[in-house]
Amino acid sequence: MSTRLHISQILSYYTDNQKSVDVKGSTISECLDCLVKECPRLMNIIQSSDGSVAGYIAVYINKDCDTPERLDKPVKDGDEYFVEYQPG
């Protein structure tokens, strides 16, 4: 399944100023993995040293800022996903 990830302005520096990236994956985690493959400069920003998503990265679903509790949550057609940098 193809999913569009909207990238925050701060993170778009690492995507060559792309504000959204189309990725493939059936879960949020797979989509983030695909994003890092498409935009390798994001690897050290999005992923922690243990391979998990960094604590200052948030993924929101739709405009109501519904943060998924688990990254293995399946993506759905029609949903919009936002990757945000949130410094602590």
For 23, phi and psi rounded to 5 degrees? Answer: -130, 165
Residue 81: Cβ within 10 Å count? 21
> Given this model, what pLDDT does residue 68 score?
66
Low-confidence ranges of the chain (pLDDT < 50): none
> Given this model, what pLDDT does residue 7 score?
96
> Given this model, what pLDDT does residue 53 score?
85
Fold designation for 2-85: Ubiquitin-like (UB roll) (3.10.20)
What is the distance between the alpha carbons of residues 18 and 78, in angstroms, rounded to a whole number?
20
pTM of the model: 0.86
Phi-psi region of 83 (alpha: psi -120 to 50; beta: other; left: phi over 0): beta
Where do the structural domains in the chain lie, given as residue ranges? 2-85
3-state secondary structure of 40: helix
Helices (H), 5-72: 9-12, 28-38, 43-46
